[in-house]
Each structure stands twice: as structure tokens, then as C-alpha cells.
Amino acid sequence: MNINPGDVIAISSENRYEFAVIAFGTLFMNATLAPLNVSYTPSEIQHAINLSKPKYIFVSPASLKNVSKVLMNTQNLKFIRQAFVFGETSPVLGFEPLKHFLKTRAPFDERFFIPMRTNLDKNVAVIGCSSGTTGLPKGVQLTQKNILTYFDRALSYDENIYHKETAVLCVIPWTHAYGVFRLFITPVSKMKLVFLPKFEEKSFLSAIERFKVGSALLVPPLVVWLVKTPLTSKYDLSSMVEISCGAAPLSSQMEEALKKRLL
């Protein structure tokens, strides 16, 4: 694909295996990952793409319609060399199915892959988008050093929680910094990552019970739901020992209510 250090790879997708493969592959190539929220409108997609200027873009079928509108109707996106859609077929001309692309390329043996030398302080690993609450979203550059600093703080937080036997449940979109950092730390910590494409009440609780989840990443609205829903009594949630909550403030009252309910 002729990916060079500093090239930008964009992804617009819900949480799924292909997202993880592309994200890690981007880091290994010293390239820059630019996640695009799958719920973005065409105008928001165009704005985000103009910020990061990706060389390649990968989309899931869920975001194909809106992304294709931008790519097909905008003439000044010539920096995009190729667009891919996850799956075996593409209903939109100009988007190559990822499985077809992989089948027609020479086989790759990861055992012989040698990562390039890098400058941790300068090489941008991720270009995220700010929330846009006071205007259009802005591009936020996170270097490889930023990611390693997060690893260091997270892994030293509590060794009784963060070990290879721990299953962590993530429903936070990997297009958000909160979610993608959890994705990146998984192979480093050797923890098991359980993920859902989107939040569904019964799927969430069932995943905790089935995979003996010990830790979960949540946002305040999900904490409120956990505290109030009667569904928790129908599932075995005794494996839970930690809940991380971010992205917005959580009141101390709600925090205490959650502890009484689950922990």
C-alpha cells in the first residue's frame, strides 16, 4: 500500500475486529491513525477529513453511506489515494472490499516484521477530534510518547486489577480517545478485551456474566443506567471489581450508588 511514516490512515467504524487490525497496523508502520466517529454527518466527516488529510480511509458498512457522499461529491480530497470497506463486497463504486484486497496481495508473515525506528516525542500516533461543543471539532495530535505515558500510568494503577487474567469490557467507541487507548493497552497488559459494537442493555450484562468481566469502561449515562435498571438482578455480575468512568463529570452520590449496587 506504500504507507510511509507520517502518513495518515482514517477509520470510520463501530468497534469490530477490522478496526483493531487497521489501528495496530497503522502504529507498527509509524503512520498516524485518524478515527472518525461513525455517527458523523457528511459535513462533519468532510471537516474531519480536511483536518487530518488521510492517505487511505477504511469504513464499515454502517458508515459507508455518509463517507461515500463526501468522497464522491467533493473534488478537493485528492490526498486520499484509496478507500476500503470492511467485508467481501462493496455496494458503492470506488470502495474496495477489504477482504478482496487482502486476498489479492502477497501473503504477509508477521514473524519477520521488523518495526521501524521512531521518534517517540515527535511522531504523531493519533489525530483525534475534539467534541466540538464550542464550534467545529479540532484535530488533537497525540504522539507515541503520549500513548506510552498513558500505558505507564494505567498499568501501575493497581496490579491486582490489571493482569492477564482480567477481562475488560469496552463499549466506548474506539473512535474516541478514551476507547482507542483501551484498545492499544490490551496487548501490552495481556488482558482480555471484550467489546461490543454498540451498547445494548442485555448484551452488556450478558457479556459481564459470560466472560467474567472484572473491569469495565463507562461514561456517566451508563453509570446512571446501571444504578437504576432492574435488569442487574437477572445476571451474575460478581466478577466486577473495578469500573472506570470518564468523558464527563460523575457526581459523588452516583459513584456511591454504583458501589453499593455492583462492587
| Tens-place pLDDT, residues 235-259 | 999 998 888 887 788 888 888 988 8
- Contact yes or no for 56/77 (Cβ under 8 A): no
What pLDDT does residue 203 have?
95
Q: Report the pLDDT value the prediction gives residue 208, as an integer from 0 to 100.
A: 95
Measured CA to CA, the distance from residue 211 to residue 228 in angstroms comes to: 23
User: At 72, is the pLDDT very low, low, confident or very high (cuts 50, 70, 90)?
Assistant: confident
Per-residue pLDDT of 140-151, as tens digits, reads 999 999 999 988
Are 201 and 222 in contact, with CB atoms under 8 Å apart? Answer: no
Give me the percent of the chain exceeding a pLDDT of 90: 49
Determine the pLDDT at residue 173.
92
Q: List pLDDT tens digits, range 105-118.
A: 767 777 888 888 88
What CATH number does domain 157-262 carry, 1.10.10.10, 3.40.1190.20, 3.20.20.60, 3.40.50.980? 3.40.50.980
Q: Look at residue 177 in the predicted model and tell me its pLDDT.
A: 87
198-216 confidence digits (pLDDT tens) = 899 999 999 999 999 988 8
Task: State the Cα–Cα distance between residues 48 and 11, nearest whole angstrom.
Answer: 11
Whole-number CA gyration radius for the chain: 19
Per-residue confidence (pLDDT) for residue 146, from 0 to 100: 92
pLDDT of residue 225: 92
Q: For position 137, what pLDDT does the model report? A: 80
Give the whole-angstrom CA distance, residue 258 versus residue 260: 5
Percentage above 70 pLDDT, the chain: 96
DSSP 15: S
pLDDT for residue 104: 80
Q: Which residues contact 40 (CB under 8 A, 6 or more apart)?
A: 12, 48, 63, 66
> Which of the four pLDDT bands, split at 50, 70 and 90, describes residue 76?
confident
CB count within 10 Å of CB 56 equals: 20
Partners of 139 in the beta sheet?
129
Stated as kind and residue range, the H or E segment containing 207 is helix 201-211
Give me the pLDDT at residue 30, please.
92
Number of H helices, E strands in the chain: 9, 11
Rounded to whole angstroms, the Cα distance separating 136 from 46 reads 11
Look at 25-29, 62-66, 133-137, 160-164 and tell me which has the smallest mean pLDDT. Answer: 160-164
The reported pLDDT for the residue numbered 92 is 83
pLDDT exceeds cutoff 80 at 88: yes
**Where do you find CATH 3.40.50.980 in the chain?**
8-144, 157-262
Q: Is the pLDDT assigned to residue 161 strictly greater than 70?
A: no
- Which residues have a Cβ under 8 Å from the Cβ of 184 and sit 6 or more positions away? 23, 24, 27, 147, 151
Per-residue confidence (pLDDT) for residue 125, from 0 to 100: 94
This prediction's pTM: 0.88
Residue 164, H or E segment: none
Q: Is the dihedral of CA 164, 170, 174, 175 positive or negative?
A: negative
Q: Considering only the top CATH level, what class is 8-144? A: alpha beta
